[in-house]
Amino acid sequence: MRDAPENAPRRDRSRLREEGRRRRRRVLWVAVAGGVAAVLAIGGAVTAAMLTTQGGTSAGPGASAEPEPIVFPSDEPAPTAGAEPCTTVRALSSFENAEMVQRLAEAYNAAPRDVEGACVEVVPTKDKSGIAAAEAAVGFTEQAEDERPALWIPDANSWLGVARDAGGSANVPEEGESIASSDIVLAMPEDLAAAIGWDDEPPTWTEVFATSEDASVWSDLDHPEWGEFKLGKTSPLVASSGEAAMLASYGSAAGSIADLSADDIADDEVTAEVKQHELATSHYMATPEHFLWHARQSEDKGGSAADFLSAVIVDEKSVWDYNRGITSRDGVTRIESDPPQEQLVPIYPTDGFYVADNPAVVLTGSWVDDEEAAAAADFVRFASTAEGQAIVRETGYRDLNGELDPGVADVGALTESPDGGLAFPAPSVVVAMHEAFDEVRKRANVLFLVDVSGSMGDKIATGETKLAAAKVAISKALDYFAEGDDVGLAAFSEVDANPLAPGVVSPVGDITETRDDFEAALGKLKPIEWTPLYEAVDTFATQQAEDWDPDRINAIVLLSDGRNETEAPSTSSAQMLATLDELHHSTPVLVFTLAYGADADVKTLQAISSATGAHFYDSTDPTEVDEVLGDLVTSF
């Protein structure tokens, strides 16, 4: 491993924490361990032109002149639309930038287009970044050829390298053309940011991670009601913000965010420090929207966003959305409400922050014909026109000159020209981080809890029973876990004098040693009779809490297809929620709930997950249980 730069020495962890405590008592923080004050950019945001070179960084000290601002050309629609049938361009975006791509498509489609003699219709679709990259790598083989995208616009170029490394070099170009950008920042409720002083004097990433490991940070600042410092991070295998968080963790441990290399990621000392950083993570989530939805739910229930998070690593556009009252439980459906009482403040760490550059690539797979490629390229051209860039700004992004819409900047409290923007590292570095994540992530202590009431024997559209489909999905989900993850299986119904039959069928243990027993027990499950939902959650959450381990993600994955129904008197909903609340303040067990089938008690399952700080997942269409459960296990 290379030596750290002179102005960013590797920190002694105990000394760093003590200095952090002293600084928090003064509220106004000063530099840690001699200070990290490297200037990573000169005036203004990083432009998209700089970011299209993978592995590039912002201009540094001594750079020549700033580039001249781009003068965006006006769009020039065709005088009349080309002949029908129109060329259909399916444009695949990430969840994060889906609104922008949708608006661009609407504006493009609203004017006459003639490309290669045909009219054009752009049809936007969206998926999580990691899933889209995996599908691109294999040529979107699960879709019919006429349903596959011709254009892919992930929110960061890192996913292009991930897809190519996974076998997609025949489908995905090496580079894309940036159409917009959004800085990935540390977002905090404004009162918390003010109390710690980061709204006035931003921290380094080293300070951020050290603070997240300090259980007394808020008590030291006379705010014990905020509990421990809760740092929200998405999975780096799924979301760009998760990639940025993990890369920043490695860069902090290696001594430089801007110069992170694959060798750093392989270094044992760096790996050990990143593992330590990850222990402060309560759990991972698939998208930034998940975290922000929970924060808003906490406030709406009369509490505070601080009940769920102290800080979360997200893109600027998500901060703007949250502050104007827009949240999403699943990244698909949007909830528009009044702005929150507690606004978020974006923090731009002083040693650099990654920039999501939204590259557009015309895919090169065999399913993309010449007409589709030409039409897709014309849509990308439109995105860079004055009309397209106006939409970029209006939807919360920086344009190709790094400019924000003034209203967006005001509502999001965004810095107009922050210093320190960094392109994502070269593909080799990003891929190395992806491969290393399984080694450094916080390990799980999780119990799968499956409803085996009589209705689980009902048939679904595939011809399988609900229980049979659930078994397949759970078995596939086990592939996500690795050595060191403790996983077990329990099932519940009520029959005769047994209120929780059959109970634990595979005790929680290291999955590499217990998987055969787990799958054998899973295969033997069969539908029984009643649905003692409240009793099962109360009992098994209490049991999981008895084995609570602060260095693990302690959780239950609950799959239920019905409502609480028992033959004999049993635990009430109020009793169950009181148990969960008590555990949440002592030995918290996250209960992730999955509503399985149209008759599932969605309201109760949402209340259960919310009471524990976990997430609710909707598989009321039981044919989607594979995908939904696969999404859920990215929390570990």
Per-residue b or e along 600-619, where b marks 16 or more CB atoms closer than 10 Å to that residue's CB: bbeebbbbbbbbbbbbbbbb
Instruction: Return the CATH number at 107.
Output: 3.40.190.10
62 in any annotated domain: no
Instruction: Specify the number of domains making up the chain.
Output: 3
SS3 297: helix
Residue 27 predicted with pLDDT over 50 = no
How far apart CA 602 and CA 558 sit, in angstroms, is: 12
Instruction: Pick the last residue of a domain from 318, 353, 388.
Output: 353
* 165 vs 288, more confident: 165
pLDDT band for position 56 (cuts 50, 70, 90): very low
42 in any annotated domain: no
29 in any annotated domain: yes
Look at 73-77, 201-205, 287-291, 501-505 and tell me which has the smallest mean pLDDT. 287-291
141 in any annotated domain: yes
How far apart CA 115 and CA 73 sit, in angstroms, is: 19
- 313 bridge partner residues: 186
**Which of 582, 610, 43, 116 has the alpha carbon at shortest distance from 374?**
116
229 plus 365 within the same structural domain: no
| H/E run at residue 326 | strand 326-327
261 in any annotated domain: yes
328 in any annotated domain: yes
290 plus 399 within the same structural domain: no
| pLDDT value, residue 579 | 96
How far apart CA 20 and CA 25 sit, in angstroms, is: 9
- The Cβ of residue 299 has, within 10 Å, a number of other Cβ atoms equal to 17
283 plus 212 within the same structural domain: yes
466 plus 508 within the same structural domain: yes
pLDDT band for position 601 (cuts 50, 70, 90): very high
How far apart CA 634 and CA 629 sit, in angstroms, is: 9
436 in any annotated domain: no
Residue where the block lists tokens 């493009």: 108
pLDDT, tens digit, 9 for 90 and up, residues 122-152: 999 999 999 999 999 999 999 999 999 999 9
176 plus 187 within the same structural domain: no
Residues 324-352, mean pLDDT to the nearest whole number = 92
112 in any annotated domain: yes
127 plus 191 within the same structural domain: no
How far apart CA 101 and CA 92 sit, in angstroms, is: 9
Contact 95, 287 (CB under 8 A): yes
* 27 vs 598, more confident: 598
How far apart CA 495 and CA 93 sit, in angstroms, is: 49
495 plus 574 within the same structural domain: yes
How far apart CA 445 and CA 514 sit, in angstroms, is: 13
Share of the chain above pLDDT 70, in %: 90
Residue 454's Cβ-count burial label (10 Å; 0-12, 13-18, 19+) is: middle
32 plus 110 within the same structural domain: no
Strand arrangement of the beta sheet that strand 498-510 belongs to: 498-510, 486-495, 443-451, 552-560, 590-596, 616-619
398 plus 338 within the same structural domain: no
Torsion of CA 46, 48, 54, 57, to 10 degrees: -10
Q: What is the DSSP letter of 226?
A: G
β-strands 498-510, 344-347 pairing: unpaired
pLDDT, tens digit, 9 for 90 and up, residues 364-423: 999 999 999 999 999 999 999 999 999 999 999 999 999 999 999 999 999 999 999 999
269 plus 333 within the same structural domain: yes
**Which of 419, 270, 437, 408 has the alpha carbon at shortest distance from 353?**
419
322 plus 188 within the same structural domain: yes
Instruction: Pick the last residue of a domain from 353, 388, 423.
Output: 353
Look at 23-32, 50-59, 155-164 and tell me which has the smallest mean pLDDT. 23-32
Residue span of the structural domain in which 120 resides = 83-181+357-403
pLDDT band for position 65 (cuts 50, 70, 90): low
Instruction: Return the CATH number at 218.
Output: 3.40.190
pTM of the model: 0.85
- Paired tokens of 474: 């759970």
pLDDT band for position 38 (cuts 50, 70, 90): very low
Instruction: Return the CATH number at 577.
Output: 3.40.50.410
CA distances from residue 295 to 84, 164, 273, 594, 615 in whole angstroms, order as listed:
48, 36, 29, 20, 12
601 plus 512 within the same structural domain: yes
